[in-house]
Chains A and B, each alone.
Chain A
Amino acid sequence: MSAAASFGWGALYGLGASLVIAVAALFGVWAERKVAARIQMRYGPLEAGPFGLLQTLADTIKLVLKEDVTPNSADVPVFRIMPFLVFVPCAAALVVVPFAAGWTPFGIEAGALFFLAVPGMSVLGILLAGWSSRNTYASIGGVRAAAQMVSYELPRSLSVLALCLLAGSLDPGVIRAEWSWWWLPLMAIGFVVYFIASIAELNRGPFDLPEAESELVAGYFADYSGIRWAIFMMAEYGGLVAASLFGAGVFFGGGFGLPGPVGAVVFVALAVAMTICMVWAKWTFPRLRPDQLMSFAWKVLTPMALGQLALVGLVLPWL
């Protein structure tokens, strides 16, 4: 493929992923507000559009029209770029989601590696966003995010690695195609680790320490406003959707390996269910303390993921 053609394809993927994330964020925010409202005996958005569906759109318009404030003391170029550096890796994760058996939009063989490595880069954006704000709260939030995301990447990667071992491939499309029913009990621990580590990786409650409202006001994006703040939010919801879709795709074989439209519907339903469970967890549990968070990653999740890997390794010779 020539350089121009690959650039063209890259731009197309980028545009597609951004669009998907924008729409996902639009409905993700709405769904989160509705689910949270139901959990809290409220109604949530009601007025804008049917069931308040257009509420997020209205909020987005408001955010775009707001002044884009850059603090005087900030490191201006870094401060301005960082929201995009957080958003792009999250968007990139979508191109290796196995939307169909044997097929991912960006068909690279090491898709699983891509999925684990590229969104991990958003930690740089978060760290520097906090750092460049020159704000004590933001700096603490950024440093917390770095420690947290690096720690939780390990169990998350190990749990996906066990799956790759089972399928004999790093390609999420192949993992989805190879999936069979008995993977469900075999990979149960791995899925739990993946689910929890994904929440932590996305800095969502009960692991939302980097933005812990009651301690750090808004953490690493305390000084961001308007469109740049909206991009951080979009990155969060994009990551949420990507993690749910990828999890449903590889851990549940898409729609339990069902073919055709039924499989597609079950696939989307599973991803939506995972997203709602993540929202549910956020609105139910208190937040952990930084030291508890780290010891949970290293003393509970990592051994669990290693155990899962060992289990798959033991089963593998008999297949």
Chain B
Amino acid sequence: MAVSVESRNLVSAPDGGSREELVVNVGPSHPSTHGVGRVIVHLDGDIVVKAEPVIGYLHRGIEKMAENRTYLQVVPLTDRLDYVGSMYANWAYCRAVERLAGIAVPERAEYLRVIVCELQRIASHMMGIGASAADTGAFTFFIYAFDQRERIIELFERLCGARLTYNYVRPGGVSFDAPQGWTQDVLAFTKAFRAAAADLDRLFFGNVIARGRMKGIGVLSADDAVAWGASGPTARASGVNWDLRKHDPYSVYPRMDFDVVVGERGDAYDRGRCRLLECVESCRIIDQAISQMHPGPVRTEGLPRLLQPRPGEAYDHIESARGSLGVYLVSDGSVRPYRMHVRSPAFCNLALLPLLAEGHTLSDLVVVLGSLDPVFGEVDR
């Protein structure tokens, strides 16, 4: 490894003497780094003096690989960015391609995209708050949250055959129309989920130990959230009312009636609970989308298999479960993108870790990390 870790550091203390710092290397293989995150933690007793995230353990060069593939072949690569929210990366990329090549998308496809992405938001948030609860030792809550996620994954499996890497949203539409009876089952799910969300809320966010562990931990001020480029529930929990579905509306979101969940204190508790409450709003959107949807084509007719956009550039972003996920594409007129860049919300949110963890204990560090909900596939790309 390039980064060497000294286990003990002598540091000059404010009183003129020196104190010994203990350096703990957390990760990249550690139960609560949410994949392959790594944090080098400097401890003074049990207090975190400095927490340095080290990233790059899951770097696969997806942006570079995209330059050697045709526009359609890049879609499966985007699945592997945020692997607990593949639909978003699919969609963000496809929006950029559609903008670059001037492709119109059928209305039914837009509705299907909204439905799967809101389902994906619930699945991703269940994973996020479940893992964050498991970090505090509430493993049963993790299983309960995963139960809900599993139901969504089964719905996705029926829709496109894949459980994790969907390759569902394609330039010009989606890969498959909803199978017979699928929308009814989605409605049944949202109905059941609302009840489950109330249970989950009581089980974890109502628990006195969980409140004690998460309230007032890792407080992010609204100013800092904006200054550091935080987005998604991480920023909204701090009171920043910023949701691309409302503030830069795309697809059919302007036709939906839903509320943006905004927190007050910006601590780990608010970030977790914002995610849970957002899931209920997602249920509202899904229900409306299904009632507004009409039969029709789900892919643009006559789209060539080898897209060859005119030279130029395009950027488009959507609200993913982690925040503003953007894809920037440059075309040189060939069948392959000249350059692809992903604006990763998980990366920006993870950068807040040193700011939020300092002054808390080692036990709080995992709570703060969990509350930022990083997915390293998207951080490292």
Contacts and interface: CB of A to CB of B under 8 A. Distances in A.
Contact of A289 (B25, B141, B363): B363
Interface in B187-243: 204, 207, 209-210, 212-213
B31 A213 contact: yes
B32 interface: yes
Contact of B140 (A39, A213, A287, A288): A39
B353 to A, nearest CB: 15
Interface string A140-154: 100000000000000
A214 B137 contact: yes
Contacts of B139: 40, 283
A208 B147 contact: no
A289 B32 contact: no
A62 interface: no
A71 interface: no
B164 interface: no
A289 B138 contact: no
A290 B207 CA distance: 18
Contact of B207 (A140, A212, A217, A285): A285
B143 interface: yes
A205 interface: yes
A286 B213 contact: yes
B366 A286 contact: no
A286 B32 contact: no
> Taking each of B24, B363, B364, which has the highest tally of chain A beta carbons within 10 Å of its own beta carbon?
B363
With a 10 A CB-CB cut-off, give which of B25, B137, B138 has the most chain A CB atoms: B137
A contact face: mostly helix, strand, loop, or mixed = loop
B364 A286 contact: no
Query: How many interface residues does chain A have, given as a range?
Result: 20 to 34
Contacts of A215: 32, 135, 362-363, 365-366
A206 B137 contact: yes
Nearest to A205: B137
A137 interface: yes
A291 interface: yes
Given A136-B7, A286-B207, A286-B210, A214 B361 contact: no
A36 B30 CA distance: 23
B143 A289 contact: no
Contact of B137 (A217, A286, A292): A286
Q: Which 10 A-B pairs have the closest CB atoms?
A: A287-B137, A214-B32, A286-B136, A286-B138, A40-B143, A214-B135, A289-B363, A286-B209, A286-B137, A286-B210
21 contacts: A40-B140, A40-B144, A136-B7, A205-B137, A206-B137, A206-B209, A213-B31, A213-B137, A214-B137, A215-B366, A217-B30, A217-B31, A283-B139, A286-B136, A286-B204, A287-B209, A287-B213, A289-B212, A289-B361, A289-B364, A291-B361
